Amino acid sequence: MTGKKAKIAVMVSGGGTNLQALIDAQNSGIITSGKIELVISNNADAYALTRARNAGIKTFTVLKKQLGSQEAFEDGIISILDENGIDLIVLAGFMSILSEKFTSRYEKRILNVHPSLIPSFCGEGFYGLRVHRAALEKGVKVTGATVHFVNEIPDGGEIIMQKAVEVEEGDTPETLQRRVMENAEWIILPKATQKVCEQIISK
């Protein structure tokens, strides 16, 4: 069993800060039971693709508008995953809801990080700054991030790890977003990835 690593695909849409956290965690020995084999983006201009190339990781772009439908889009992703023998999919700021057909194919093999303590401020329509804006409007004193398995319900899968972050006086959605990333997302996403990879290779 020594040396066996779970093959990871990271799916991204934007800047790729969570991808960078995963790459850094792999380099620093936090992720030892898995290896990022490839990065898939649904946005050809995503800076995350540059981060992946800089780290020597294979990249693929799959565009729904070119393929014409959600089904064709997902089939394109599935064929890349299957051809590369991927064991685990990590959604790191992937801005496309995946269908039940896709998620059930990879049951307990897809992770997502969400910028709140689920079940607060989650589900359809809650992403990016909207989550932090909602938290501030509600007046919560503590927020954070959650890593969970992905199923057909947006943010509805089993929780793997959570980390709390305090809301500070005078926070804006932007300052809160940054603190949640630095103090929660970038810490628990690599740890949860390692944990699930360990489970995969021990089976």
> Which residues are known to be catalytic?
114
- Give the whole-angstrom CA distance, residue 123 versus residue 142: 19
Q: At what angle do helices 129-138 and 173-180 cross, to 10 degrees?
A: 110
Question: How buried is 92 (Cβ within 10 angstroms: 0-12 exposed, 13-18 middle, 19+ buried)?
Answer: buried
Q: Which tokens belong to 164? A: 């709390």
Task: Indicate if the alpha-carbon torsion angle 23, 177, 61, 4 is positive or negative.
Answer: positive
Instruction: Classify 157 as helix, strand or coil.
Output: coil
